Amino acid sequence: MIKLENISFDHCIKCTVCTIYCPVAQATHLFPGPKQSGPDAERLRIKNPELVDASLKYCTNCKRCEIACPSDVKIAEIIQNAKWKYVKVHWFRPRDFFMSRTDLVGGLATIFSGLTNFIINLKIMKVLMHLFLKIPYRRSFPAYQRGTFTRLYKKKLQKSQKGFQKRAVFFHGCFVNYNNHSLGEDLIKVMNALGYGVDIVKEKCCGVPLIANGYIEKAKKNAQYNIESLGKTGDSVIVSTSSSCSFALMHEYPSFLELDNSSYIDRLDYITKFIYDEFTAGNIPPMKPVGIRAAYHSPCHLERMGGVIYTLGVLKMIPGLDLVVLNSECCGIAGTYGFKSENYEISQGVGQNLFRLIEKAEPEFVVTDCETCTMQIEMNTRYKVLHPVTLIAMALEEKNEGKR
Amino acid sequence: MIYDCVIIGGGLAGLTCGIRCAEEGLRTVVISGGMNSLHFSSGSIDLAGFTENGTIVKKPFDYIKSIAAKKKDHPYSRVGIPMIRKSLDFFTERVSDEGITLNRNSDYNHFHVTAIGAVKPTYLSQESVFSSRGKDLIKSGVKIAILNFKGFRDYYPEQTAANLKRHPLFKNSELIMGDISLPYYLHTEKNLHEFRSTDIARIFETERYLPRIADEITRAAGDAEAVSLPAFIGINNYKDIRNKLEAMTGKFIYEIPTLPPSILGLRIDHAVKNSFFKHGGEYIAGEKIESSVINKGIVESIITGSRGTSSEIKAKYYVLASGSFFSGGLQSGVSSISEPVFNLKVKGDSKRNRWYSWNFFDKKSHPFLSYGVETDSNLNPSTQDGKTLKNLFCAGSVLSGYNPVKEGCGGGVAISTGYKCAERIIREIKK
């Protein structure tokens, strides 16, 4: 049966604008593009599920099609749904299993982080992974940190957070928890400067990699866990430093996983939107000039949320930041997509435009909101990538030290 | 954090206004939901194509002068001829800086061929559509080869030929038809019929394919001096590609817009956006403006609202360039027409059966096409209770008082009203 709320494909007027802006269709002819794979084919699939073709697997779910669509068709959602509802794509499952279990892998890896980082970067290991796990040899991996951010918070940071009356819950996500503790510390520094004490509640992976790899039931379980946990946080605000986690918590839970997130939705913001609102309300902490030239790359999922305006708004408030805003291009990694051998060429192909723009801008740093964009850009250009929150923290630094 | 100017709508009107504001150093943001209608347009800018009774306009400015006397509420009457001229020059220059040349037939309209082969008057066209060389060739009655990419479903040369043969402009020309096949990427599982204009444009943009494409054109066109192709000879560096193909084939190459996506329109879109970025404008895609806060005749803020928490965006001046019904700038209820963001005073009939004509191709056109926001001569709209909003300006097809289809003036109205909004804002801010 057709679910009445899911007939946005009927609004498609076949203008094909989405296909013009599809980064994958630009990089390969193997993907017929979002219009054909989404609204066009959906009609056929509803009639007869056999009319599904395997090219759906090329979609990275970057959602640029939905941004381009003048008729508000949920194109990427239609494709994601179809991918897992109709197609039993026989990918290499052990790899996908581990790749999507960021909590499991991250939890293990951080115990022996030094050893893990050493091993996964060994040439022989890379060859083995290439051969047996179909993880591309040339792909570099994010380093794991010692221990989790949650532990660091409990041991060191929690105490200092007690003095604040206004409270914010930080949904740190897997990247901060296992790979980038300093972003978490920067977040706390910035929130404190804005007058908020930061709490952490129990959370599981938001589900983005699970959805991307077809583990929908597991994603639902995680989502339910997070909804329950975040729902119990009273009236404190909730912030996340990951654009994709935020997108999942806000949009994917209700619309794709069909779960009710109303218990927290009004309190949740992607971090730059939260800061933007605070800044606009006049709550601007003193900042010193950073004296940095940076190029800003807008991640696909942040664009889809309509969040770029806030990141730019906040960045432009940082004194002494010479900001080059790069034309909007997909970096190509799309979460776990670019970590798979069968997608590696396409992933790199998609990113070429962005890498060229970055090189042309000649910045000192690249700034972006997304963790996998960060990995992709650091691997393919010579620049270090910073999160907007880190930049604000850098601007705050001296002032705080001066006080002490 | 207050913008000087927030523009709602990223189409021709909004972006023209945006470029002008940004180059004056105003902090400008364009907020757009979904891509603009340039993607489905011919890529030519119409200024005034048809008179009230449907005859073709030869000199658009003469016609505009005549309506200025009759229709005070026509957007052209609000802008005035000197500024319309200025806005078109401005637009042509900015687009030309981004590598797209727009030609005009001095003060006269020229003709362009549409996707189904109709011949229509327009004012500004890209080189591949109108140039003095092309004009001379057609006048002299050369043999024209109307070609297509084999298997391409968004264009039919037979239809073009049949329509052209009936037009006096081509009565001396011999028309032939033909197909070219293009070298496409290896290992593609794609059926020829699945290629859209953008896919083919990317093949043209692959430099090493050009000699083979030129051979194909020469073969299919035979001794024809002029060749028409569906518009897909490259998006970003089409000029260069066209020059090379002309040199390789020795033939004049003309472009005919296809069904969407229209590459001719896409080029203008890219040029306008690039110009806007270059002048420091911010462009936000995929954001929806849900409502606004108005206090004592002043717009205080606009409210964005994707699901989740909403946010206020504040600016000194606002421009509403949100388009007509298709883009959601205007909404129709069962028996009412409304403007959703500011709930502005709108001109339109409350009787639904008067909105349209029963005949789709009615010569008198459909009344709803001229519905829209009412403004004063400064392009300031007013609220339902008649209060003028001093810091809000309206541009483009959200405006009432003209019929873009019947009059053939959509592009000109968008550019000139967008430009006028910018000029008003610049003047107010520099005061």
Residue A75: CATH number of its domain:
1.10.1060.10
* Structure confidence at residue A400 (pLDDT): 47
Residue A108 covered by a domain: yes
Query: CA B266 to CA B92: how far, in whole Å?
Result: 16
pLDDT in tens, A31-86: 889 999 999 988 888 888 777 777 888 899 899 999 999 888 999 989 988 887 76
**Residue with structure tokens 């040349």?**
B101
Q: Do A66 and B1 touch (CB under 8 A)?
A: no
> Which residue in chain A has the smallest CA separation from B310?
A266
Q: Which residues of A touch B185 (CB under 8 A)?
A: 29
Interface test with B, best of A15, A35, A264, A272 (most B CBs within 10 A): A15
Instruction: Specify the CATH number for the domain of residue B154.
Output: 3.40.50
The whole domain housing A32 covers 4-85
Among B30, B199, B274, B275, most A C-beta atoms within 10 A, so best to mutate, is B199
| In the block, residue with structure tokens 């005749």 | B297
Q: Looking at B80-153, list the stretches that DSSP marks H as alpha helix, in order from N- to C-terminal side.
A: 81-97, 132-139
- pLDDT at residue A27 above 70? yes
**Beta-carbon contacts of residue A158 (< 8 Å; ≥ 6 apart):** none
Q: How far apart are the first and last CA of chain B?
A: 21
Identify any residues that bridge with A155 across adjacent strands, giving them in sequence order: none
CB pair distance less than 8 Å for B284 and A71: no
Residue A341 lies in a domain: yes
CATH label of the domain that carries residue A263: 1.20.1050
Q: Measuring CA to CA, which residue among A71, A250, A253 is closest to residue B306?
A: A250
Q: Which residue from B154, B225, B142 is spatially nearest to B195, judged by alpha carbons? A: B154
Query: Shortest Cα distance from A304 to chain B (angstroms)?
Result: 6
Local structure of B366: helix, strand or coil: coil
Domain annotation covers residue B37 = yes
Q: Are strands B144-149 and B175-180 parallel, antiparallel or unpaired?
A: parallel
Interchain proximity B288–A303, CB inside 8 Å:
no
Min Cα separation B212/chain A (Å): 20
Inter-chain CB pairs, A–B, below 8 Å: 114
Which residue, among B1, B10, B5, B3, has the nearest Cα to B284 in the 3D structure? Answer: B10
What local confidence, expressed as pLDDT, does residue A318 receive?
94
Residues from chain B that touch A356, judged by Cβ atoms under 8 A, are none
Note whether B273 and B253 are same-domain residues. no
Q: Which of A280, A310, A326 is the last residue of a domain?
A: A280
A30/B34 Cβ within 8 A: no
Contact B186/A at CB under 8 A: no
A357: exposed, middle or buried (C-beta count within 10 Å: 0-12, 13-18, 19+)?
middle
Helices (H), ranges, A56-131: 64-68, 75-85, 93-100, 102-111, 113-120, 123-128
Residues A225 and A248 in one domain: yes
Q: State the pLDDT at residue A83.
A: 81
Q: Over the stretch A206-246, which tens digit does the pLDDT of each residue have?
A: 999 998 888 888 999 999 999 999 999 988 999 999 999 99
Tell whether B35 is within 8 A of chain A (Cβ): yes
Q: What residues in A contact B306, CB-CB < 8 Å?
A: 250-251, 305-306
- The mean pLDDT value of chain A amounts to 88
Examine the pLDDT at A402 and tell me if it is beyond 70: no
Q: Which of B31, B261, B327 sits opposite A16 (nearest CB)?
A: B261
Asked whether the beta carbons of A275 and A392 are under 8 A apart, the reply is yes
Q: What span, in angstroms and rounded, lies between the C-alpha atoms of A367 and A395?
A: 14
pLDDT of residue A285 exceeding 90, the answer is: yes
Strands A268-270 and B102-103 come out as unpaired
Q: Is the distance from CB of B321 to CB of B410 less than 8 angstroms? A: no
Strand partners, B230: B256
A340 shares a domain with A370: yes
CB B90 within 8 A of CB B15: no
d(CA A250, CA A262): 9
Do B293 and B194 share a domain, yes or no? no
Task: Give the closest residue to B303 by CA, choosing from B4, B5, B8, B18.
Answer: B8
Tell me what the mean pLDDT of segment A283-302 comes to.
Answer: 93
Residue A350's CB: how many other CB atoms inside 10 A?
Answer: 28
- Domain count for chain B: 2
- A4 pLDDT more than 80: no
Q: Does B327 touch chain A (CB under 8 A)?
A: yes
Q: At which residue do the structure tokens 């899911």 appear?
A: A6
Cβ within 8 Å, pair B39-A67: no
Q: Does B390 touch chain A (CB under 8 A)?
A: no
pLDDT score recorded for residue A404: 37
Question: For testing the chain B interface, which of A8, A11, A17 should be mutated: the one with the most B CBs within 10 Å?
Answer: A17
Q: How far is B182 from chain A (nearest CA, A)?
A: 14
Q: Tell me B399's DSSP state.
A: B
| pLDDT tens track for B409-421 | 999 999 999 999 9
Could you tell me the residue range of the domain that residue B177 belongs to?
120-258
> Would you say residue A2 has pLDDT above 80?
no
Same domain, A390 and A297: yes
pTM summary value:
0.89
Cβ contact A195:A283 at 8 Å: yes
Question: For residue range B343-370, what is the model confidence (pLDDT) as tens digits?
Answer: 999 999 889 999 999 999 888 899 999 9
Rounded CA-CA distance B298/B342 in Å is 11
Q: pLDDT tens-digit profile of A180-215?
A: 999 999 999 999 999 999 999 999 999 999 988 888
> Cα–Cα distance between B59 and A393 in angstroms, integer?
61
pLDDT band at A401 (very low <50, low <70, confident <90, very high): very low
**Is A50 within 8 Å of A26 (Cβ atoms)?**
no
Answer whether B209 touches A (CB < 8 Å). Answer: no
Answer yes or no: do A198 and A178 share one domain: yes
Location of structure tokens 């909590």: A103
pLDDT of B355 reads: 94
B214 and B322 assigned to the same domain:
no
In the 8-state DSSP scheme, what is residue A168? E
**pLDDT tens digits, residue range B65-90?**
999 889 999 999 999 999 999 999 99
Enumerate residue ranges in chain B where pLDDT < 50: 307
A116 contact partners, CB below 8 Å, separation of at least 6: A108, A109, A110, A144
Q: Looking at the structure, do residues B254 and B160 belong to the same domain, yes or no?
A: yes
Strands (E), B9-151: 28-32, 102-103, 110-113, 119-122, 125-126, 144-149
Residues A37 and A62 in one domain: yes
Based on the fold, state whether residues A254 and A363 are members of the same structural domain. Answer: no
Which residue in the set B188, B284, B327 is minimally distant from A70, CB to CB?
A: B327
Judge: A306–B287 Cβ closer than 8 Å, yes or no: yes
Q: Closest partner residue to A327 among B29, B39, B277, by Cβ?
A: B277
Look at residue B1 in the predicted model and tell me its pLDDT: 62
Is B311 an interface residue toward A (CB < 8 Å)?
yes
Tokens of residue A231, six digits: 């729902």
Q: Of A250, A277, A313, which is closest to B308 when you measure between CB atoms? A: A250
Radius of gyration in angstroms for the set of CA atoms belonging to chain B, rounded to a whole number: 23
Q: Which tens digit of pLDDT belongs to each residue from A332-350?
A: 998 888 888 888 999 999 9
Phi, psi of A270 (to 5 degrees): -70, 145
